[in-house]
Every structure is written in C-alpha cells, then in structure tokens.
Amino acid sequence: MRQLKSIIIIVLFLSSFLAGCTSNDNDTVQLEIISLNENDWVEGQIEISIKSEMTFSEEIEVWINGNHFSDEELGIRKYFNIDTSDFSDERGSPLDLHIQLIHQNITLTEVNVTALFPQQMTFWSSEDIQPEFNFDGELLFKSSRGLEARMYEIYHLNPGITIPQKIPTQQEYHGYPGPSPNGKHVVFNSRVIDEEGISRMEIFTANISTGETYRLTYSSSFDDSGRWSPDGSEIIFYSDRDGTMDLWKISVNESGYPIGSAVKVFGSDAREHCGRWSFDGQYIVYESDKSGINHLWMITSDGLNETQLTFDENQNGYPAWHPSGDYIVYNKQTSTSSNLHILSLVDGETKRLTMQNMVIDAHPTWSADGNYIAFHSDRSGNFDIWMMEIPSIS
C-alpha cells in the first residue's frame, strides 16, 4: 500500500539559566514538548522545531523506543525530522513510539505517542468517495470510473483481499451507498426525470447480487443519504419535502421493498441531514446548522432529546458511530484542510485522527469490530478510498 506523509510540528524550547556560558559550564538545560501531548496519535512524518536561548551550540541525542535515532545540534533554531514510517511493519498497524531527548546522558524530556499509517485502498484515476463498512468488514463506495463527469456507480471490496467489484442496479446515477444489516442489499439515492422533464433525487435499494432495484420515495422534493436501521426494518434519509431539510424514515421489508409512506423523524427551521443510526439503533447522529454553523447533533431514535455535540468555530460533518456507541468519528473542515476527529460522548473530549494540511479527508466510517476507520481523501492527488487501523479506544 502506498503511504503519504503528513507533518506534525513539535516545538521545543531550550533555555540556559547561565547566559553566555560555554558548553562545559554546569548549565541547567530545559526542554519542553508543547505541541504533542502524552498518548497523542500522530501520522506520517514529524518535523521537530527547537528554539534555543543559548549563545552556543549543544548537541542532544534523539532516542526512539530505546534505540539511538540521531544527534541534533542546537542553536538559535533547529529543525529535524522523525519519519514514523521507518518504524512501521508495512501492514499499517499502529505503532507506539517512546521519544526521548537526551543531553549529557540525561533525559531532558520524553513523550509517548502512537503512530498511525493510513493505507490506500483504490488507485484508479476516477473519483472514489463515500465509503461505508458493512457488518462483515466489506467496503461499499461510489466511483466515477469510466463514466462522464458527476456520474457514479457503486462498488464493493474486501480490503486487502478482493479488488473492487461493481454492484449492478437499474439506475444510472448513485449517491451515498449504504449496506443493509445482512449485507445483501444497498440503499442509495438517484436522479429521476419526471413527466415534466424535471430531475428529482429519490431513495432506492438494490440487491447487491442481482441488481434488482426498488424505488422507495416518490416526491417532488430532494431526498438523499439513506441509511438502514440496524434491525433492517427502516431507512432514514433527509428530505426538503416540508420546505426545509429534515430527517425522515420509511419502513422496508427484508428485501428493501418499501412498506407504507415516509414519516418525519425530526425537523426544524434549520438544515438537518446525514442521519446515522447507532449500532444498537437507539440513537441518531446528524448534521445541523441550527446554531449558525454546521455541527453534530444527536437525538434518540424516536426523534426526541435533541443534543448538540460539537461547539467549535469549524464546519463539522459526516458523523459515524463507534460500535460501542461511546464515540463518533467525523470530519472537521478548516480554511486549509478537512481532517478526521473522534469525539467521546463519555467526557466530550476530542482526538485528532488525521493531520495533513491542504488535503481533504472526509466521510469516515467505522468497522463493526471498531478496529478500522475508512474515509475518502485527495491526499494522493486524487480522491481515493483510504483505511487505517487504530488502537483500541474503548
């Protein structure tokens, strides 16, 4: 698998209590790592920046996991790199790193971090986006391979085992594919041209093996982003059929055939969209701009107990559940990038998962065993499907 390196900046401050001394004097040397915390997760290449108030040059030793890594000369300012891929087993497994900075045989500062190694899953020149794990560890995603601009078909693959295979349906356009709990069907949205020649977006399901396709919604509205409930009885989606974008659902049988009409789950004057069921079906996480900016919100599956989950100044979206229900992975969009973060519903703490600047990492999905997160990214120069193994988080 190809890996792309990102940059984490570690800023170290070095000071001497005896200004103008020589390296032979009995200095008190202090180093502090201020941009990495104990037990942080890091990705790719670490660029270390050292700021010094000393008027002479000194050397420190960099040790990683008990092995000498390099000698670095300190001056007014100094940079050096640690390439975490040098320590990888090339299988993408997380790696614990104990980083020590040693001066005159004394460890001045140290930190323990875990290096993560995203693995590229697709390599086509097409746009491969919106991955979703099924319960058996397969990935579904949509791809523009061999199609005209803004057209997509659905593919599935077993990461590291099979190559992507196209899923046949009776529709030409496909968006937001999501697997049924039994892995035999897929829900997606697709364009429909009505009798007046107007394009509508509707919700469909299809049999992954045969391609037999059912239309679930018949509305003049915009219906999008369907997701199956864990028990397979309902599909949630968002729709503007009431004038604003709200969360709706429709009952289906085991073959994905609609039963009855769509009913509203939750709505307001704001935009509620991208609803995702928790693994136990008790909660729904979704996006809303109710607070003035796009944030993550949560309700119980009956549409009650509305709770805001994120509060920062960035756009937060595409939430996905950890199997335990205690964590949500999502993408945070800033002015320079879109990276993945994990939110703990236990204590409200967040952990940054991907760390590249000037790239888009988005639409994460968690595997049913909680060990992997897949997402789409343009970090290779083209939108592809990526996957990373993560440490145990529960």
- Say yes or no to pLDDT of 298 above 60: yes
Q: What pLDDT does residue 75 have? A: 67
Q: What pLDDT does residue 53 have? A: 57
Last residue of a domain, one of 78, 101, 116: 116
Q: What pLDDT does residue 47 have? A: 77
Q: What pLDDT does residue 30 have? A: 64
Query: Whole domain around residue 265: which residue ranges?
Result: 121-389
> How many domains are contained in the chain?
2
Structural domain includes residue 354 = yes
Q: What's the CA gap between 50 and 120, in Å, rounded?
A: 33
pLDDT band at 108 (very low <50, low <70, confident <90, very high): confident
β partners of residue 59 = 73
Same domain? 107 vs 134? no
The secondary element (H helix, E strand) that includes residue 214 is: strand 213-215
Are 269 and 312 a contacting pair, CB within 8 Å?
Answer: no
Please give the residue that has the higher pLDDT: either 1 or 153. Answer: 153
Q: What's the CA gap between 105 and 102, in Å, rounded?
A: 6
pLDDT band at 9 (very low <50, low <70, confident <90, very high): very low
Q: What pLDDT does residue 55 have? A: 53
Using a 10 angstrom Cβ sphere, with 0-12 exposed, 13-18 middle and 19 or more buried, the burial of residue 263 is exposed
Three-class SS string for 95-162?
A: EEEEEEEEECCEEEEEEEEEEECCEECCCCCCCEEEEEECCCCCEEEEECCCCCCCCCEEEEECCCCC
Residues 6+ apart with CB under 8 A from 217: 202, 203, 223, 237, 239, 250, 258, 262
Of the ranges 4-8, 267-271, 390-394, which is most confident? 267-271
The size of the chain, in residues, is 394
Q: What is the pLDDT of residues 95-107, one digit of tens each?
A: 999 999 888 898 9
Q: What pLDDT does residue 19 have? A: 34
Structural domain includes residue 394 = no
Same domain? 211 vs 329? yes
Same domain? 27 vs 166? no
Last residue of a domain, one of 47, 82, 116: 116
pLDDT band at 300 (very low <50, low <70, confident <90, very high): very high
Biggest CA pair distance of the chain: 88
- Say yes or no to pLDDT of 10 above 90: no
The mean per-residue pLDDT over the stretch 270-296 comes to: 97
- 373 CB neighbour count, 10 Å cutoff: 25
Structural domain includes residue 320 = yes
CATH number of the domain at 183, please. Answer: 2.120.10.30
Using a 10 angstrom Cβ sphere, with 0-12 exposed, 13-18 middle and 19 or more buried, the burial of residue 297 is buried
Are 124 and 359 a contacting pair, CB within 8 Å?
Answer: no
Same domain? 174 vs 198? yes
Q: What pLDDT does residue 390 have? A: 96
Q: What's the CA gap between 286 and 319, in Å, rounded?
A: 7
DSSP state of 390: -
Same domain? 366 vs 236? yes
Please give the residue that has the higher pLDDT: either 7 or 197. Answer: 197
Q: What pLDDT does residue 7 have? A: 42
Phi, then psi, of 86 in degrees rounded to 5: -65, -20
The mean per-residue pLDDT over the stretch 284-290 comes to: 97
CATH number of the domain at 54, please. Answer: 2.60.40
Please give the residue that has the higher pLDDT: either 45 or 225. Answer: 225
β partners of residue 286 = 297
Q: What pLDDT does residue 276 have? A: 98
Nearest alpha carbon to residue 202 among 234, 226, 230: 226
Same domain? 28 vs 128? no
Are 377 and 359 a contacting pair, CB within 8 Å?
Answer: yes
Q: Phi-psi bin for 276: left (phi > 0), alpha (psi -120 to 50), beta?
A: beta
Q: What pLDDT does residue 97 have? A: 94
HSE of 20, CA atoms in CB hemisphere, 13 A: 0
- Stated pTM of the model: 0.90
- Say yes or no to pLDDT of 13 above 70: no
Please give the residue that has the higher pLDDT: either 100 or 77. Answer: 100
The mean per-residue pLDDT over the stretch 152-168 comes to: 96
Please give the residue that has the higher pLDDT: either 244 or 1. Answer: 244
Percent of the chain exceeding pLDDT 70 equals: 89
Last residue of a domain, one of 116, 148, 175: 116
Q: What is the pLDDT of residues 17-75, one digit of tens each?
A: 333 333 444 455 567 777 788 999 998 877 777 665 555 677 889 999 999 999 988 76
- Say yes or no to pLDDT of 11 above 80: no
Structural domain includes residue 23 = yes
- Name the average pLDDT for the chain: 89
Q: What's the CA gap between 41 and 52, in Å, rounded?
A: 27
Structural domain includes residue 112 = yes
Please give the residue that has the higher pLDDT: either 13 or 279. Answer: 279
